[in-house]
Structure 1
Amino acid sequence: MEPDLFTAAAEDRQLKDPSSSPLAVRMRPRTLDEVVGQQHLLKPGAPLRRLVGEGSGGPAGPSSVILWGPPGIGKTTLAYVVSLATQKRFVELSAITAGVKEVRAVIDGARRASGGYGKDTVLFLDEIHRFSKAQQDSLLPAVENRWVTLIAATTENPYFSIISPLLSRSLLLTLESLTDDDLRALLHRALAEERGLGGAVTLAGDAEAHLLRIAGGDARRALTALEAAAGAAISKGEGEITLETVEETVDRAAVKYDRDGDQHYDVASALIKSIRGSDVDAALHYLARMIEAGEDPRFIARRLMISASEDIGLADPTALPTAVAAAQAVAMIGFPEAALTLGHATIALALAPKSNAATNAIFAAQADVRKGLAGPVPAHLRDGHYQGAAKLGHAQGYVYPHDVPGAIAAQQYAPDAVHGRHYYEPTRYGAEARYADVVEKVRGRLRGDGPPEARP
């Protein structure tokens, strides 16, 4: 019995009729040198080179590798290339549909193939973060005994989603998003090479730019869109793929947006100003334009975090944690699902009460410091934890606030140069109304006004 009849049959069909396979499959790299992007892992002596035995005297390498990165950047491709380079069987499972039973069947097959045919196996397990702890535990014997070379892929932080015993036995490789230059090189290769489109059509410049935008760093998406557009152009007897053809085939209008030009900043500015103006619908429109243009989701998330402090502040203290949580989620899941998180945060910020009091406060304090209004720290606030501090008067006379009623001691904290200056002027909007009530009472207590019995 052959060790991998299904894989062999599939490869035989592709050799006999390559056009029967999708373009993304036909253009799958056959060697590490054909891989686009990930140069930090592909230069001489880098981890992937060592994994296939280059420069190390043999292909021993680690028995388990975890590839961490966003979708569509070549995790499956790298696993396939490793199997080709090491002449091993390639078996692919998805944690979405496979369970312990399927994993054990692959492992049993790998042991038979190794013992009976001398053919080792690369097991590529996609979306390993979807496996439970027990399911991940089932992989450990195969990894420890080198029955398979496990290459697992995840779009989530492996330190949170993969069990420690498996993580400690694995080489963790972080993959980077593909750049426009990476995708451009891949599109040009697909247009020219015989296994791709073989020069049957050319690609107009604006059509190429649109393909790069809608790909969003995803090589599979870029090649799928190119194949659909090429098919439409050829069916119409056209030798060039135009922007109109791309728009028709991918059912998406070209977004007037240049990530490196004025439109980039104009649309980003409009997003923030719409949030500031509480126009949730306009904010969602500009967010959608940025997403559809292939904007880096991390850039959008950073703008939302800034907006939460700049325009909302203490009027809604939950705004910043919401924006930060969105940024963390975006970093872990990537597009397309990250659009949901960004939309969630944008709606929350747009509908939150607004205040720029915190922004004005720090700007005013910084302005005074730049003017030279600093001055020495009051003696009673200086560090007193060293020999001789008392002789200098440092920390002498300091009143520990927890020792007085209300925990607010009437003493001077600011240097003389700015003593009595008020930077924070709260509004009466949202939750900041409470701070407006508190701040005047606290300032009075610090001056020694009013009864000290209770904290406001």
Structure 2
Amino acid sequence: MHRPLADEIRPKTLDEVVGQRHLLAPGGVLRRLIDAGTDANMVFYGPSGTGKTTVANIIAEKTHKTLYRLNATTASLQDVKDIIADVGTLLAPGGILLYLDEIQYFNKKQQQSLLEFMENGSLTLIASTTENPFFYVYNALLSRSSVFEFKSVPAEEIRPAVLRALEVMKTRTPLPLTWEPEVPALVAQGCGGDVRKSINAVELLCEAAVPKDGTLLLTEADAKALSQRSAMRYDRGGDAMYDAASALHKSIRGSDPDAALHYLARFLEAGDLITPCRRLLCAASEDVGLAYPQAITIVKSCVDTAMQLGLPEAQLPLAQAAILLATAPKSNSVCTGIMSAWADVKAGRGGDVPRELQNVHADSAGLEREQGYKYPHNYGHHWVRQQYLPDAIKNARYYHYGDNKTEQAAKSYWEKIKGPQ
């Protein structure tokens, strides 16, 4: 049976692991725990191909435990019980380390079932997940584990692993193997921080290489084609999607049109129009708001146009909206105003609607009372002083004018009419 190259050259020591220097460099907290022979339960969180399984293998070797692997997408509670049955036998003389991949696919009951074995020392658990464990892993299990975040590996750190894989493949090919100068960098850059994917790409490149002048030449064109669309991590509904949406919104809020276009392009590459449209519409009110009131109308038109056009043409109106919002003057007065008002409502602060504002049609039920409502259009500047808020919060102030030109103009206008507030 064919053994993937990535598995065959998997690092055997912490010094050979590519990336994760924040955890595994000398003095790193995880490095120190492993060197001390830790029995701690752990949760490894991060993208695929960043060394989670490799580090679990090394921990098992360091602690002289028998390593069992389960994938939560297919495993059951019975599988866990079958593993526990080996405790204390010749199959696991030093104890058991269970590596449970994709733990987020275990439901709450299945995760709870692990607690008994973790607490009585029957097994040491290392669970891995590509999703945020604080959303998907049961709290009681998290409280008994240490969470370590594995990060995408930079291309410059992947490149040595690619060169190592190429050297290994040179010993296996029937003809001498050579490659064009930029091939290692293209593979490292094109695999999106995934070391395993980069090693697999090397293997595929070698298998697809065409003999030329008595050698096998790996071309830059083939490297580009093989890694096309691979550099981007995106999982609809997953952390990568929400991170990109957050980055798009915050780039707009931070008035950085270049960053806004970058994160928008990630969604376009993934074929997701819905998520950026929602973010753009939200930012128009949340972060631009009354500093440029027309922005929401323009953005809505851009979004509607994009949804009618579809990709690839949708890129143009959405880019227009992103640039408009990023370069527009900013105000969060709309956001802070409604949040303050809503907080009072949630807290029960309020009271009866003032009689002057009540629905006059209620009087037809025999509740004939003087309403006393003053119709503003009957007064100069279409305004008259009267109370609109309930008595209990009649002096509340939720909206505060922003410091932008538009809101300051409105403030000046009303101060002349109403006087300073």
Please indicate the TM-score interval, normalised by the length of the shorter structure: 0.5 to 0.7
TM-aligned CA deviation for residue 355 of structure 1: 6.2
Alpha-carbon offset, residue 404 of structure 1: 6.0
Output one character per residue of 1:30-50: Cα deviation in whole Å (capped at 9) or x when no partner.
Answer: 111211111222233433334
- Conserved 8 A contact 2:280-2:322: no
Which residue in 1 is equivalent to 2:53?
Answer: 76
Structure 2 unpaired stretches of 5+: 232-255, 290-294, 300-311, 332-384
Residue-by-residue CA offset, 1:293-335 (whole Å, 9 max, x unaligned): xxxxxxxx9xx88994599833449x8xxxxxxxxxxxxxxxx
Amino acid at match of 1:447: K
CA distance in 2, matches of 1:170, 1:305: 39
Is the counterpart of residue 179 in structure 1 residue 161 in structure 2?
Answer: no
Judged with a 3 Å threshold, the aligned counterparts in structure 2 of structure 1 residues 50 and 211 are, in CA distance, closer, same or farther, namely same
Q: Give the drift of 1:51.
A: 3.6
How many pairs are equivalent? 312
Q: Tell me the secondary structure at the aligned position of residue 66 of structure 1.
A: strand
Q: Give the 3 Å change call, closer, same or farther, for CA 185–152 of structure 1 in structure 2.
A: same
Select the residue among 130, 139, 148 that pairs with 2:123: 148
Structure 2 distance, partners of 1:46, 1:192, is 30
RMSD: 4.9
In the other structure, the counterpart of 2:203 is 227
Letter in 1 for 2:416: R
- Output the CA distance in 2 between the equivalents of 1:40 and 1:285: 27
- Among 180, 185, 200, the alignment partner of 1:204 is 180
The 1:312–1:150 alpha-carbon spacing in structure 2 relative to 1, beyond 3 Å, is: closer
**Separation in 2, partners of 1:448, 1:284:** 48
Gaps of 5+ in 1: 1-12, 14-19, 256-267, 276-282, 293-300, 320-342, 363-402, 427-438
Write the distance in 2 (CA, Å) between the matches of 1:88 and 1:445.
75
Matches within 5 A, 1:19-418: 20-52=2-34, 54=35, 56=36, 59=37, 61-109=38-86, 111-113=87-89, 118-193=93-168, 201-233=177-209, 237-247=214-224, 250=226, 252=228, 287-288=268-269, 308=283, 313-314=288-289, 315-316=295-296, 359-360=328-329, 405-406=387-388
CA contact (8 A) 2:18 2:195 kept: no
Q: Assess if the C-alpha contact under 8 Å between 1:358 and 1:424 holds in 2.
A: no
Distance 1:272 1:117 in 2: 53
Name the SS of the counterpart of 2:49 in structure 1: coil
TM-score, normalized by length of structure 1? 0.56
Question: Structure 2-normalised TM-score?
Answer: 0.60
Distance in 1 (CA, whole Å) between partners of 2:42 and 2:206 is: 37
Q: Are the aligned partners of 1:31 and 1:85 in contact in 2 as well (CA < 8 Å)? A: no
Identity %: 31
**Structure 1 segments of 4 or more deviating over 6 A?**
268-271, 304-307, 345-348, 351-355
Deviation at 1:26, TM superposition (A): 0.9
Write the letter of the residue equivalent to 1:203: W
SS at match of 1:360: coil
Q: 1:422 to 1:152 in 2, by over 3 A?
A: closer
The residue type paired with residue 125 of structure 2 is L
**Residues 34/197 of structure 1: CA separation in 2 closer, same or farther (3 Å cut):** farther
The one-letter amino acid of 2:112's match is D
Q: CA deviation at 1:359?
A: 2.9
Cα distance, 1:228–1:156 mapped onto 2, change above 3 Å: same
Q: Structure 1 CA distance, aligned partners of 2:108 and 2:268?
A: 37
8 Å contact kept, 1:190–1:196? no
Q: 1:349 to 1:253 in 2, by over 3 A?
A: closer
Change (3 A) 1:86 1:229: same
Distance 1:79 1:235, change over 3 A: farther
CA 1:164–1:196 in 2, change beyond 3 Å: closer, same or farther?
farther
**Equivalent pair of 2:50/2:195 in contact (CA under 8 Å):** yes
* Inter-partner Cα distance in structure 2 for 1:164 and 1:285: 33
Change (3 A) 1:404 1:129: farther
